[in-house]
Structure 1
Amino acid sequence: MYTLFRRYFLGGLLLLCVWLWAACSKSNSGNGAAVTRVDATVQPLRFMLDNNSAFSNFDTLMKVSGYMDSLGKGRSYTLLVPDNTAFINAGIGIDSLLALPKDSLRLFVGNHILPGVVTTDLVPQTITNPLTAVNGQTLYLSKPLISSYVYQYPDLLRQYQHTLHVNGIKVTLTDQKAVDGILHTLHFPLRLTVPSVARYLLSQPQYSLYVAGLRKFNLFDQLDSAGPFTIFPCPNDAMIAYGMTLDRINSDTFDLEHYTPWLFTSGILDSRTFMSDFTDAQLPNNNTGYTRYGTMQYGYGDYGQADPIMSIQITNYTSPLGPNYSIYNNIGPTANSHLKDQQPALNGVIMPLDKILVYPDSVYITH
């Protein structure tokens, strides 16, 4: 694991620098002009970047990082281009990126370049299809499983056939053909992959209480293993708001003898599930995570908002009159996760929440 951490340390460091510096930066060069196809005639990728004002930020990053010099040299590439609006939506200032050391900038920019030509029709209609970017990191492409739409919504069939997600980020304009490859436009820039879910949580002070709770319930160490895991952490202020202070977590009564594991396992899925996968995979009955304690109800739809959000609520059920007469009870608040905060890891995905998933009192074991 030490070797793995050392190998990806630069990526993790860059992640922290990029988003920390971006939060402090108020400069976004370029504007939010709508992306248009450059010309009816197929042009080289470099021409497409140079001659579309909506790509000016990424065009600059390509040139400064040195990747622009790789184009037009007899090889084909797929560019995953966040337009200027994508940087604005993510709150990332271009000046913050340009202030990075060149090696770090190349790592970030290289995360948006795939070798070869990857058109939408070449991506299977399923989730998490792995492809390797030129920086060596794995990206996961997905398309909706459209079988249920064929009969119910035939007019949407063509739209769903040309819907593409990369690490859960929507491609807003697909398959812009070039002489030397293909270009897709992204809604957000792609975050770099961190070494593991566990190491990411440890690097973020706002999750210290959440980590303490996972450790108390013997759930934390697994998050540094191969996985995959999808985890929904909540920040310290959300934990404190519902009474889960450090003193309570460290007490003798905060354990598996007094609370069911659903207090924390409700937010841990044994899968690599990006936010768009909740709709692309068409999970049954709009829920996932069935257990004897309850289920996760979710609501998500990317309808062109600048900041798409997924809402989650944990529900349990009882059947006092038999299996056909279940009574559902919400055992936690409605928690929200922002698509732009979704963080990929080598062993899964982190989806930060604004609230806890389960009220502690709702899973208290009465002795």
Structure 2
Amino acid sequence: MKRAIYIAMLFLAACKKDDTAQPDNSANRISYVIADNLFNFSSFNTVLERTGYIKKLSGDGPFTVLVPDNNAFIKAGYANSDAVRIESGTVLNNIVSYHILSGTWELNKLPYTFNQELTTDAGAKMYVTHWVKNADTVVTINGTRVLAYNLAAENGLIQVMDAVLQPLVNASLSDAIAADTALTFLNVALQQADMKTMLAGSDVYTVLAPSNNAFRKMGYSSIDSVNATSPAILKDMLYYTMFQGRKFIYDYILTTDATDKSQQSMLNGNNITVRLIKTGVQYTGVTLQGSGNTGTINVIKSNVLTGNGVLHTIDQVLRVNQ
């Protein structure tokens, strides 16, 4: 229904022409369509105004623009256009450049497969999934749902996003962990276990990264206590926090059956249990449980994309049943 509303609204906007006000015949171009739908897109329009990308999206293109709606900006911490207006220009430039593709990409016509690599107009990588869940055809980008796709403008297409996509900042998982102050215990553990190089290479991994508080809950009171732990013990623990391949949280929602529960094989050969979280009729996330954990583990930060994988931060250390 939400997709149908977006299509109707943008169709009406595209039909509104004023040849006097738009002598360059650009009334149906992407920048105009966004500006004419401020009820849904005022925050993204403010980003375009602040960064000067309005001029680019008024050009010939063609472009495919991934437009987070206002609810997506609210989820990202921007309550309204005024909050966007006071954000750093550098941050806004990074955001908007990651939401523009060269050419017309009809995302619902891509092959039915997971995490197909596309490149933004600025040269950054993103990953598109096209899949069927029950009776719904779903398109996601970096694990974020596309609410409405292939909305036509004169110079390209608009895809409406459920969240503001986070630009790829770190070249490697190793760099991303080192840069996150909530993961300093993990970073030291990786150094002590001689695993930093592994997460800095070309092999792709997904890491379920225990936060600093997760280490404290497990009995590591300080970084010194991590350093004092045998590298072999740390390596055994850390191999249960990662697996090869790139996996976003929504990938589990798309692949889990009616039991709402699945198993994920980890690098040490053991499994963890992944359970879907449902709010009303919508799946909104997952919880995790290691074979040695007595309770569920929550994902507190998800879908951090790096050049060689994906990072999810969790609130407890995954444990193997001994």
Measured in 2, the distance between the counterparts of 1:304 and 1:111 equals 32
In the alignment, is the contact (CA less than 8 A) between 1:333 and 1:358 conserved in 2? no
Which letter maps to 1:45?
I
Structure 2 spans left out of the alignment, 5+ residues: 15-27
Match of 2:204 in 1: 228
Following superposition, the deviation at residue 73 of structure 1 comes to 2.4
Match of 2:299 in 1: 337
Measured in 2, the distance between the counterparts of 1:351 and 1:113 equals 25
Measured in 2, the distance between the counterparts of 1:111 and 1:278 equals 24
Measured in 2, the distance between the counterparts of 1:109 and 1:198 equals 26
Note the alpha carbon deviations across 1:125-184, whole angstroms, 9 max, x for none: 11111111122211111112x4xx6xxx5xx1xx22xx1101111112222222221111
**Structure-2 change in CA distance of 1:272 and 1:39 (3 Å):** closer
Question: Could you tell me the TM-score, scaled by structure 2's length?
Answer: 0.81
Note the alpha carbon deviations across 1:87-117, whole angstroms, 9 max, x for none: 1112235556544564553232110111111
Measured in 1, the distance between the counterparts of 2:281 and 2:67 equals 18
Measured in 1, the distance between the counterparts of 2:185 and 2:76 equals 27
Match of 1:63 in 2: 49
**Structure-2 change in CA distance of 1:65 and 1:223 (3 Å):** same
Following superposition, the deviation at residue 71 of structure 1 comes to 2.3
Measured in 1, the distance between the counterparts of 2:6 and 2:234 equals 50
Match of 1:350 in 2: 311
Aligned CA-pair RMSD: 2.9
- The SS at the match of 2:9 is coil
Match of 1:250 in 2: 227
- The SS at the match of 2:44 is helix
Following superposition, the deviation at residue 312 of structure 1 comes to 1.0
- The SS at the match of 2:149 is strand
Following superposition, the deviation at residue 200 of structure 1 comes to 1.3
Which of 225, 236, 246 matches 1:272?
A: 246
Question: Could you tell me the TM-score, scaled by structure 1's length?
Answer: 0.72
Measured in 1, the distance between the counterparts of 2:281 and 2:194 equals 39
Which letter maps to 2:70?
N
Aligned residues: 298
**Structure-2 change in CA distance of 1:290 and 1:222 (3 Å):** closer
Match of 1:191 in 2: 166
- Aligned-residue sequence identity (percent) comes to 20
Which of 185, 205, 211 matches 2:181?
A: 205
Which letter maps to 1:357?
L
Measured in 1, the distance between the counterparts of 2:278 and 2:111 equals 20
Note the alpha carbon deviations across 1:223-279, whole angstroms, 9 max, x for none: 111121111112111211121233432335x342xx484421121111111122224
In the alignment, is the contact (CA less than 8 A) between 1:332 and 1:357 conserved in 2? no
* 2:83 paired with 1:87: no
Match of 1:172 in 2: 147
- The SS at the match of 1:85 is helix
In the alignment, is the contact (CA less than 8 A) between 1:313 and 1:333 conserved in 2? yes
Q: Any residues of structure 2 matched to 1:5-84 within 5 Å, and which?
A: 37-40=8-11, 42=14, 43-52=28-37, 53-84=39-70
In the alignment, is the contact (CA less than 8 A) between 2:108 and 2:139 conserved in 1? no
- The SS at the match of 1:117 is coil
Which letter maps to 1:186?
M
Match of 1:240 in 2: 216
Structure 1 spans left out of the alignment, 5+ residues: 1-33, 316-329
Measured in 2, the distance between the counterparts of 1:261 and 1:286 equals 25
- The SS at the match of 2:209 is coil
Match of 1:111 in 2: 98
Following superposition, the deviation at residue 295 of structure 1 comes to 0.3
Which letter maps to 2:175?
R
Which of 274, 289, 297 matches 2:265?
A: 289
